[in-house]
């Protein structure tokens, strides 16, 4: 038996505007202050290919079909796993990731209706033995999330582009994934104050993180 994966992968999930980036950064800051070997990464766009893929996905001049979109996300993830996550985890780091596999299951599976079993097999191919130790799901209604991102965005938000019905399916999808993985996924009320959410995440993380050396 090998002990190659000594690090800890922690993921942040939730619909657009739920507060993933805010929480991932707040938790990163605290863990760094406490002396943990911790880094933050995100999807899509954490590798050279990922950067190109991110620009394609966000491009306004391109129409991308839902199948092509799925494979672009997976191409990004595959590079992210091989070039960023596997090396960092094998040296014992804690890696926080802003969106990961559950986002694909929620958006492309529950939202766009690609078959869930297919997504699972593709993820097995891409991930091998890499699995998040813990996932924080920031749960919020699409209506409230839209209010938040509207004040941030100058142009039409993704919620407005794809519609509230789509985001309701994605939210319900995330909750269903959490019901199927109760050990791994911790559901948090994303409408709580920012500090309260981080406090809960850090309290939960204390159960799985070793003391910093
Ligand atoms: N707990 C909170 N209460 C109120 N507002 C919040 C809270 N957390 C984050 N926000 C605000 O909501 C907006 C969205 O937050 P953030 O960018 O962290 O979400 P996100 O999930 O990363 O969104 P995206 O999926 O678009 O990247 C920001 O303006 C942020 O300041
Ligand atoms: Mg974000």
27 inside domain = yes
Verify whether ligand 1 is closer than 6 Å to residue 145 (CB atom). Answer: no
CATH number of domain containing 158: 3.40.50.300
Cα-to-centroid distance, 62 and ligand 1 (Å): 27
- Counting ligands in written order, the one closest to the CA of 25 is 1
140 inside domain = yes
Q: What is the pLDDT of residues 38-78, one digit of tens each?
A: 999 999 999 999 999 999 999 989 999 999 999 999 999 99
183 inside domain = yes
Verify whether ligand 1 is closer than 6 Å to residue 18 (CB atom). Answer: yes
15 inside domain = yes
pLDDT band at 5 (very low <50, low <70, confident <90, very high): low
**What is the total count of domains within the chain?**
1
Verify whether ligand 1 is closer than 6 Å to residue 197 (CB atom). Answer: yes
28 inside domain = yes
193 inside domain = yes
Verify whether ligand 1 is closer than 6 Å to residue 19 (CB atom). Answer: yes
Q: What is the pLDDT of residues 119-166, one digit of tens each?
A: 999 999 999 999 999 999 999 999 999 999 887 766 777 778 889 999
94 inside domain = yes
213 inside domain = no
| Domain membership of residue 68 as a residue range | 8-205
Q: Which long-range contacts (CB under 8 A, 24 or more apart) does 169-173 make?
A: 169/110, 169/111, 170/15, 170/106, 170/107, 170/110, 170/111, 170/142, 171/15, 171/106, 171/139, 171/140, 171/141, 171/142, 172/110, 173/105, 173/106, 173/107, 173/109, 173/110, 173/111
Q: Say if pTM beats, i.e. exceeds, 0.75.
A: yes
């Amino acid at each position: 038996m090998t002990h190659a994966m000594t690090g800890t992968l922690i993921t942040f999930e939730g619909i657009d505007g739920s507060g993933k980036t805010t929480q991932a950064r707040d938790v990163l800051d605290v863990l760094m202050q406490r002396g943990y070997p911790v880094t933050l990464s995100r999807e899509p766009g954490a590798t050279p290919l990922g950067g190109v893929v991110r620009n394609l996905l966000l491009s306004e001049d391109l129409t991308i079909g839902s199948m092509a979109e799925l494979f672009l996300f997976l191409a990004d993830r595959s590079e992210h796993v091989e070039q960023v996550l596997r090396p960092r985890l094998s040296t014992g780091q804690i890696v926080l990731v802003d969106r990961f596999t559950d986002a694909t299951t929620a958006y492309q599976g529950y939202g766009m209706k690609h078959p869930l079993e297919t997504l699972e097999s593709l993820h097995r191919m891409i991930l091998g033995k890499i699995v998040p130790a813990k996932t924080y799901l920031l749960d919020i209604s699409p209506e409230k999330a839209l209010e938040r991102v509207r004040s941030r965005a100058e142009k039409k938000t993704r919620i407005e582009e794809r519609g509230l019905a789509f985001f309701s399916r994605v939210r319900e999808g995330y909750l269903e994934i959490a019901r199927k993985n109760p050990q791994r996924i911790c559901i948090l009320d994303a409408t709580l104050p920012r500090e309260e959410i981080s406090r809960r995440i850090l309290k939960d993380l204390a159960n799985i993180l070793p003391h910093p050396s």
